[in-house]
């Protein structure tokens, strides 16, 4: 894979207030693509090439199932070749997507998280947005649906980049991209986003305070951070560092209470810190489906006591916190 699929977005970025970083970002993407050859990439690229042309239809970014809505049902053969090509990109974790009657029923009902977040954030109209750890871009599409001017998603997992390319083969937008980058690959002086989302990422970072500081630097003064992460329920400053896996995940490092998170944000210099949602993750939000056939949340909870993970930790609860970069440095 080369830079070609990212160029329309990079051109658009070049014309935005972030144009100064176009060439450094392009160089980082080229570097990461060179370093991240994946054995399955040729198979995924063949699937992309096999996606069929579809009759013209209306794109829908403003409802739970993101995608394309046509006037009628697709011809059965066309529907089958579309499903088969998309299924090569299994596992589909984030969604759902509906492409002219083909319903990609993903592991996560990401629309439920979006509903919790969207009602609490500053209106996205005309904002430059960064979505760190954006997966296949599901929330990015919803951000465009809410009026964002440009959404730069970054995610180091190449399969999710390919899933975004598959969806964008039909939605044809140049104002959203899933760039194959980790947050550590971003230029050290990049800044200027109006809103930065970090959802489902903090607990994967070994240095959570550094992550919060990086997110702050990426914002323009006064810009808004939307932080969504696993939390421990209860009052006071407490922290779980799982000694091994957490709900079968190997890379979960820190699960703080919301009080501890608020202190961390304050220590990093954020202002206007508020907790806008705390919700246990239910099996209606995360489970195996035909499009994600591996094990999922129900398999990772204690079969007798679903308030505990299989390791005996409290079952997943997620919080959304909002905070602002100060207008001027103290
Ligand atoms: N260093 C990194 N830099 C950026 N992203 C990373 C890094 N390491 C892993 N990721 C990516 O962070 C994402 C975490 S999932 C959240 C998806 C979405 N935000 C959601 O809220 O549904 C967790 C969850 O399932 O909630 C994955 O796509 C990783 O590839």
Q: What is the pLDDT of residue 329?
A: 62
Q: What's the start-to-end Cα distance of the chain, in Å?
A: 44
CB 114 within 8 A of CB 148: no
Q: Which residue lies with its CA nearest to atom 23 of ligand 1?
A: 200
Q: What is the pLDDT of residue 155?
A: 98
Evaluate whether residue 201 is within a structural domain: yes
Evaluate whether residue 330 is within a structural domain: no
Using 70 as the pLDDT threshold, list the residues of the chain that sit under it.
36, 329-330
Does ligand 1 lie within 6 Å of residue 204's CB atom? yes
Pocket test for ligand 1, best of 64, 142, 151, 155 (most atoms within 8 A of CB): 155
Counting the structural domains of the chain, the total is 1
Q: What is the pLDDT of residue 330?
A: 52
pLDDT tens profile 12-54: 999 999 999 999 999 999 999 988 678 899 999 999 999 999 9
Q: What is the pLDDT of residue 74?
A: 86
State the complex-level ipTM: 0.99
Count of C-beta atoms within a 10 Å radius of residue 191: 17
Range of the domain at 111: 4-324
pLDDT tens profile 209-234: 999 999 999 999 999 999 999 999 99
Q: What is the pLDDT of residue 35?
A: 80
Evaluate whether residue 72 is within a structural domain: yes
Q: Domain containing 103 — which CATH number?
A: 3.40.50.150
Evaluate whether residue 329 is within a structural domain: no
Q: What is the pLDDT of residue 280?
A: 97
Sign of the Cα torsion 243, 247, 253, 258 reads negative
Q: How far apart are the CA of 202 and the centre of ligand 1, in A?
A: 9
């Amino acid at each position: 894979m080369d830079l070609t699929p990212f160029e329309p977005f990079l051109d658009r970025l070049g014309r935005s207030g972030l144009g100064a970083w176009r060439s450094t970002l392009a160089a980082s993407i080229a570097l990461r693509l060179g370093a991240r050859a994946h054995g399955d990439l040729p198979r995924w690229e063949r699937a992309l090439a096999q996606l069929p042309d579809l009759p013209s239809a209306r794109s829908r970014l403003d409802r739970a199932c993101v995608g394309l809505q046509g006037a009628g049902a697709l011809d059965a053969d066309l529907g089958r070749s579309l499903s088969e090509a998309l299924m090569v990109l299994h596992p589909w974790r984030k969604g759902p997507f509906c492409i002219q009657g083909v319903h990609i029923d993903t592991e996560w009902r990401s629309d439920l998280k979006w509903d919790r977040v969207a009602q609490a954030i500053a209106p996205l109209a005309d904002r430059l947005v960064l979505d760190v750890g954006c997966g296949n871009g599901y929330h990015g599409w919803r951000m465009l649906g809410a009026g964002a001017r440009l959404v730069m998603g970054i995610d180091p997992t190449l399969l999710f980049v390919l899933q975004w390319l598959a969806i964008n083969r039909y939605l044809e937008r140049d104002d959203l991209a899933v760039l194959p980058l980790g947050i550590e690959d971003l230029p050290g002086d990049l800044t200027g986003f109006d809103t930065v989302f970090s959802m489902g990422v903090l607990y994967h970072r070994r240095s959570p305070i550094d992550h919060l500081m990086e997110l702050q630097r990426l914002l323009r003064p006064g810009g808004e951070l939307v932080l969504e992460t696993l939390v421990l329920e209860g009052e006071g400053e407490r922290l779980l560092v799982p000694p091994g896996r957490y709900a079968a995940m190997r890379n979960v490092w820190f699960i703080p209470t919301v009080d501890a998170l608020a202190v961390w944000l304050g220590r990093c210099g954020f202002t206007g810190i508020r907790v806008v949602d705390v919700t246990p993750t239910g099996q209606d939000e995360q489970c195996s489906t035909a499009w994600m056939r591996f094990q999922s949340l129900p398999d990772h909870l204690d079969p007798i006591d679903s308030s505990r993970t299989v390791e005996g930790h409290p079952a997943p609860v997620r919080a959304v916190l909002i905070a602002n970069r100060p207008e001027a440095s103290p």
